[in-house]
Structure 1
């Protein structure tokens, strides 16, 4: 789930099963038709267009061994959301998974799950693959713990016509929140209580969901968020590119960030930030579906820091400012947040991350901070993550790790 993760196709030949039922006005509404024994029977989805969080479409899926072993019903959804760059309306895809059996009183609580980096191209959406490569086991664990799961692809991944605003916390927070609203319309008995969870880019998305909940999450009851190794503030990549200190993971992340910024800021000249081998193989570096996974890893391994040095100090400063504008925190939290990070992270540099945490503490956020000495980006211990999220549903007090708090 780290920034260097490659999304690999694992498509099933089994066609999704759907049926239609008439609305009161006679129009057809697509509903779930369970494709394996034990899945929940779901009613017709609410396809009324009333803005962010409303459903555009629902398409039942089949092919994830992990979710089917858990007897979950799951579907690809397209829903409406809001760009964090210009506040324009958008459409975003994702996946919703519903546990089998009888929901608890008030409906299944929801986890909004933020997946790690898969790329910045439209074809890099996890929901495009019935097997949900890299995400099935996590979603299975959430379902088995009594949660309905909604996993957004994030804007620009999966729905044509939109660009992917890589690292833009406002957009990611909006997408995570609206995925919960959309999940509650698929025809299942779901609660308005929810939690957010993610790792790496998904960790940033989970933190961003908490950051945006007070200003964008009206009508929902966020109980807490867990962000593991979150890419909360990556503005330091600009200085690292200038100083020639980027790690291999950061070089990949910077390529994605530069391409995304060029889409949102058409006046940004990419050639002031790339040269040599990196410039010549730019399209291959952006690809997320090579014929062989080793091919793209080989291309990425040949990048050098000199290929990514900004042309002038002014170019460096502009890149720093653009990345800082997208970073966390942006709003005061209204709910608990647990952040877990390692001191040997090769993507999210320790001083960059701790600066974001310090700013959050300074504005009065309630953070439980778990610093893992000697651990890196992808080897963090997450065994207590789901129990911590379940505890949020009971209202148990969360310790505040910020200096001067208890």
Structure 2
């Protein structure tokens, strides 16, 4: 059994004592024709993966930012099976907020992702991978906005089916880190957003569930939790929240140094932004404690993931050595799912944030096989 000790245990206990009401959904304008491809799709072999017969980059209409997102589809080799290629909608982990960091521009981030994609293509799955709104397209990327991410994923599937007539209506969502969060957000909304499609289930690895509870405790006295990249992620959340909720006056909660960092988040490539953010403590971002203000509820409304509404199979992977998303947050979420009567599979490999997923490739592939074949 994993135990939270010391300071982090205290923070978890304090947050557990808070009310845990289901978060509200932040509503965003959705185009009249979500999922419709705009512009000319591009055959993009430079971003190819082993086992793909075709790689296409495209732009489509969706919610968030200025109403569009870019994405990529990978078609397996050979003839489509009866009923068409089953679809895995892939939601990527954090790559940055600058347009140049979008996977359709920068390529596949991790060799592990290539391994996953090659395995899925071999199993006969067509892969559809959104960049998310505002990442590679106009506007500020609403980082970890659950509602927007769900729309982006669903609409990317519709766009891919427009481009590939041999694609099936059967689909599942899979994601890692930021994408694990997007996958869970998508699954909980699939019945409403994708009633015209045949949604089969969800895989999520290293998803930052319950992160809103942790962010809500931030302030000038916030301790050093020794989590990798926490300042960067909070700056990204603040930048996305500021663009989505101008009524909240996010700047009013930030120090001058915090405003400067948040101002740079959406335009600075990750390679340059990460070392800057890593040199700043979370406490130095905030001019006052967030507890007791409208900010924590706004964060929950923005990125909170529900623990009910999963009508199809769900698989979670959480590396026990993860220093980006602490295992205790995922175990807490698993407890919430259990108390809500949800059925799910939880895999706890020994590796870290990305390594834990690497240790689970065969199990993830087998899970998706059961869903889609």
* TM band (smaller chain): 0.7 to 0.9
Contact 1:195 1:222 in 2 (8 A): yes
Contact 1:55 1:80 in 2 (8 A): yes
2:231 alignment partner in structure 1: 251
- Could you say what secondary structure the match of 2:153 adopts? helix
CA distance in 1, matches of 2:122, 2:177: 23
1:42-71 Cα offsets, whole Å, 9 max, x none, are xxxxxxx9722222234223343642x424
1:174 alignment partner in structure 2: 151
Q: How does 1:283-362 map to 2 (within 5 A)?
A: 283-284=263-264, 286-289=266-269, 293=271, 295-314=272-291, 317-325=293-301, 326-329=303-306, 332-362=309-339
Change (3 A) 1:91 1:324: same
1:125 alignment partner in structure 2: 102
Larger radius of gyration: 1
Contact 2:315 2:345 in 1 (8 A): yes
Report whether the alignment pairs 1:54 with 2:36. yes
Contact 1:285 1:299 in 2 (8 A): no
Say which is worse superposed, 97-106 or 319-328, in terms of deviation.
319-328
Q: CA deviation at 1:121?
A: 3.4
1:10 alignment partner in structure 2: none
Contact 2:200 2:313 in 1 (8 A): yes
Q: CA deviation at 1:142?
A: 2.3
Contact 2:203 2:316 in 1 (8 A): yes
Q: CA deviation at 1:77?
A: 1.4
Which residue, 117, 129, 138 being the options, matches 1:151? 129
1:342-363 Cα offsets, whole Å, 9 max, x none, are 3343222334333333333333
Contact 1:118 1:288 in 2 (8 A): no
Provide the aligned C-alpha RMSD in A: 2.7
1:398 alignment partner in structure 2: none
1:39 alignment partner in structure 2: none
CA distance in 1, matches of 2:297, 2:325: 18
2:189 alignment partner in structure 1: 212
1:393 alignment partner in structure 2: 372
Change (3 A) 1:389 1:71: closer
CA distance in 2, matches of 1:207, 1:302: 31
Scaled by the length of structure 1, the TM-score of the pair is 0.74
Q: How does 1:270-285 map to 2 (within 5 A)?
A: 270-275=250-255, 278-284=258-264
Residue-pair matches, total: 334
Structure 1 unaligned runs (5+)? 1-48, 395-406
Contact 1:81 1:175 in 2 (8 A): yes
Change (3 A) 1:150 1:313: closer
Scaled by the length of structure 2, the TM-score of the pair is 0.80
Which residue, 242, 247, 252 being the options, matches 1:262? 242
CA distance in 1, matches of 2:190, 2:297: 25
Contact 2:242 2:249 in 1 (8 A): yes
Q: CA deviation at 1:330?
A: 6.3
Contact 1:213 1:334 in 2 (8 A): no
